[in-house]
A and B are shown apart, each in its own frame.
Chain A
Amino acid sequence: EAQVTQNPRYLITVTGKKLTVTCSQNMNHEYMSWYRQDPGLGLRQIYYSMNVEVTDKGDVPEGYKVSRKEKRNFPLILESPSPNQTSLYFCASSLGRGPGSNQPQHFGDGTRLSIL
């Protein structure tokens, strides 16, 4: 089954404790992206990747890191999480160069992070 898999689905942690949210897709998609969803703000893009070793900032990259060492994986890293990063996070992937090549994105089921 074609899917985007995120782990963990839920995480409660404390300020300053490094964490990684994994994302894996099995569709051989070139484009991958991370979003955060907050009430009243919709989805905002954190980082995206056009292909292996090619990443770039989205609208809200501060406090986050990503890497793309393999085509299927695109982990999101919070080196020193803070309470304002409490949010619902989504990973997505698509063919080609992503939205600008009119390809729809496939989303994971989300990761709810609570930073205390």
Chain B
Amino acid sequence: AQSVAQPEDQVNVAEGNPLTVKCTYSVSGNPYLFWYVQYPNRGLQFLLKYITGDNLVKGSYGFEAEFNKSQTSFHLKKPSALVSDSALYFCAVTETGANNLFFGTGTRLTVIP
């Protein structure tokens, strides 16, 4: 069975500081991992994905994520947070050949000016 955990409901960070949003996953096969962002009254927008290869994945808006197989984690990071990064972030997992995607419960990121 596939599952995703986002242990933090809320993350606060000062503008200009680095940010990390945590995600751990569980799959029986090889994972495909995704990060999405949701702004108020909008649908989810794709940020980045991990398929295979380099453990550090770069995505949109300066975000990156680090895949760690031994810790089954896929944490989202950004070196310098912007106020405009404030949003709801979702981690999602599936595996090769699967037809559905499992989402975490979301982490609300607030960047404080």
A interface with B by C-beta (< 8 Å): 4, 33, 35, 40-45, 48, 50, 56, 58-59, 90, 92, 97-102, 104-110
B interface with A by C-beta (< 8 Å): 6, 32, 34, 36, 41-46, 49, 51, 90, 92, 94-106
Residues of B within 8 A of A44 (CB): 103
Most buried by A among B42, B43, B102: B43
Q: Contact check, A100 vs B46: say whether CB atoms are below 8 A apart.
A: no
Q: Contact check, A100 vs B32: say whether CB atoms are below 8 A apart.
A: yes
Q: Contact check, B49 vs A107: say whether CB atoms are below 8 A apart.
A: no
- Knowing that A99-B98, A102-B32 are A-B contacts, what are 13 other residue pairs whose CB atoms are under 8 Å apart, sorted by A's residue number? A33-B101, A42-B103, A43-B92, A48-B100, A50-B99, A90-B43, A98-B101, A99-B32, A99-B34, A102-B51, A107-B36, A107-B44, A110-B41
Contact of B96 among A33, A40, A42, A100 (CB under 8 A): A100
Residues of A within 8 A of B43 (CB): 4, 90, 92, 107-110
Q: Contact check, B42 vs A109: say whether CB atoms are below 8 A apart.
A: yes
Q: Contact check, B99 vs A90: say whether CB atoms are below 8 A apart.
A: no
Q: Contact check, A100 vs B99: say whether CB atoms are below 8 A apart.
A: yes
Contact of A90 among B41, B44, B94 (CB under 8 A): B44
Q: Can you list 7 residue pairs at the A/B interface with Cβ under 8 Å? A: A4-B43, A42-B103, A42-B106, A92-B44, A99-B98, A109-B42, A109-B43
Residues of A within 8 A of B94 (CB): 99-100
